[in-house]
A and B are shown apart, each in its own frame.
Chain A
Amino acid sequence: MYKKSVVIVIALLILVSLGGLAFRGSGSKTTAQVDKIAIIYVEGVIMGGRGQSNVFVDQGGTDQVIKELHEARDDASVKAIVLRVNSPGGSAAASQEVGEEIKKLRAKGKIVVTSMGDVAASGGYWLAACTDKIYANSTTMTGSIGVYVPYANWEELYKKVGIYQEKIKSGPHKDILSPERMMTNEERAIIQVMVDDIYNQFVAVVSEGRKMDEAEVRKLADGRIYTGNQAKQLGLVDELGNMYDAIDGAAALAGISGKPVIKEYGKQSPWQMLFGANGQAGSLLEKVILNQVKNALNSGEMMDMSTNKWQVR
Chain B
Amino acid sequence: MGSLFEMLYDVLFQPAIGMQHIAQRKDVGQAVVVFLLSILIPIWALYFGLKTTNMFVMFNMMIVVKILASIVMWITGAAIWHLIAEFFGGQGTAVGLFTALGFAHAPRIFIVPLWALIAVMPANSKTMLMTIAVLAVLLWSLSLDVVAIKEVHQLSAAKAVLVFITPILFVGILCIIGVIFIGSSLTHMPMWL
Question: A10: shortest Cβ distance to chain B, in Å?
Answer: 8
A3 with B9: CB separation less than 8 A:
yes
Bound Cα distance from A28 to B120, whole angstroms: 12
B49 with A25: CB separation less than 8 A:
yes
Partner of A28, one of B5, B10, B45, B52: B52
The reply to whether the CB of B183 lies closer than 8 angstroms to some CB of chain A is no
Partner of B48, one of A8, A22, A31, A269: A22
A24 with B61: CB separation less than 8 A:
no
The reply to whether the CB of A263 lies closer than 8 angstroms to some CB of chain B is yes
The reply to whether the CB of A17 lies closer than 8 angstroms to some CB of chain B is yes
Task: Give a binary string over A10-21; 1 marks a CB under 8 Å from any B CB, 0 the rest.
Answer: 100110111011
Bound Cα distance from A17 to B54, whole angstroms: 23
| In the complex with contacts A14-B112, A17-B112, A18-B44, A3-B6 CB distance below 8 A | yes
Bound Cα distance from A17 to B112, whole angstroms: 6
Contact residues of B between 11 and 27, Cβ < 8 Å to A? 12-13
- Chain A contacts for B185, CB-based, 8 A: none
Question: B141: shortest Cβ distance to chain A, in Å?
Answer: 15
| In the complex with contacts A3-B6, A6-B9, A7-B5, A21-B52 CB distance below 8 A | no
Bound Cα distance from A4 to B9, whole angstroms: 7
A31 with B5: CB separation less than 8 A:
no
B119 with A4: CB separation less than 8 A:
no
The reply to whether the CB of A30 lies closer than 8 angstroms to some CB of chain B is yes
| In the complex with contacts A28-B52, A30-B52, A31-B52, A21-B109 CB distance below 8 A | no
Task: Give a binary string over B112-136; 1 marks a CB under 8 Å from any A CB, 0 the rest.
Answer: 1101110100000000000000000
Question: A294: shortest Cβ distance to chain B, in Å?
Answer: 15
Question: A258: shortest Cβ distance to chain B, in Å?
Answer: 16
Question: B3: shortest Cβ distance to chain A, in Å?
Answer: 10
- Chain B contacts for A8, CB-based, 8 A: 5
Question: A313: shortest Cβ distance to chain B, in Å?
Answer: 29
Bound Cα distance from A263 to B9, whole angstroms: 46
Bound Cα distance from A233 to B56, whole angstroms: 44
Question: B93: shortest Cβ distance to chain A, in Å?
Answer: 26
A4 with B115: CB separation less than 8 A:
no
A21 with B53: CB separation less than 8 A:
no
The residue in chain B whose Cβ has the minimal distance to the Cβ of A33 is: B52
* Residues of B contacting A: mostly: helix
The residue in chain A whose Cβ has the minimal distance to the Cβ of B6 is: A3
Question: B192: shortest Cβ distance to chain A, in Å?
Answer: 11
- Chain B contacts for A6, CB-based, 8 A: 9, 13
A21 with B9: CB separation less than 8 A:
no
Question: A181: shortest Cβ distance to chain B, in Å?
Answer: 45
Question: B122: shortest Cβ distance to chain A, in Å?
Answer: 15
Bound Cα distance from A251 to B113, whole angstroms: 39
Partner of B112, one of A7, A21, A28: A21
B41 with A18: CB separation less than 8 A:
yes
Partner of A7, one of B9, B51, B119: B9
Question: B107: shortest Cβ distance to chain A, in Å?
Answer: 11
A17 with B115: CB separation less than 8 A:
yes
Bound Cα distance from A18 to B114, whole angstroms: 11
Partner of A17, one of B9, B10, B45: B45
A30 with B51: CB separation less than 8 A:
yes
B115 with A21: CB separation less than 8 A:
yes
- Chain A contacts for B51, CB-based, 8 A: 25, 30
A21 with B45: CB separation less than 8 A:
yes
- Chain A contacts for B9, CB-based, 8 A: 3-4, 6-7
B116 with A7: CB separation less than 8 A:
no
Bound Cα distance from A32 to B6, whole angstroms: 44
Bound Cα distance from A6 to B5, whole angstroms: 9
- Chain B contacts for A24, CB-based, 8 A: 48, 119
- Chain B contacts for A22, CB-based, 8 A: 48
Question: B21: shortest Cβ distance to chain A, in Å?
Answer: 12
| In the complex with contacts A14-B112, A14-B113, A25-B5 CB distance below 8 A | no
- In the complex, besides A4-B5, A17-B116, A21-B119, 6 extra interface pairs with C-beta distance below 8 angstroms are A14-B112, A17-B113, A17-B115, A18-B41, A18-B44, A21-B45
For the complex of A and B, the 10 pairs showing the least CB-CB separation, nearest first, are A17-B116, A3-B9, A25-B48, A21-B48, A17-B113, A30-B52, A7-B5, A4-B5, A3-B6, A20-B116
- A interface vs B, CB < 8 Å? 3-4, 6-8, 10, 13-14, 16-18, 20-22, 24-25, 28, 30-32, 263, 269
What are 17 inter-chain pairs, A to B, with CB distance below 8 A?
Answer: A3-B10, A4-B2, A4-B9, A6-B9, A6-B13, A8-B5, A18-B41, A18-B44, A18-B45, A18-B116, A21-B49, A21-B115, A25-B49, A25-B52, A30-B51, A31-B54, A263-B54
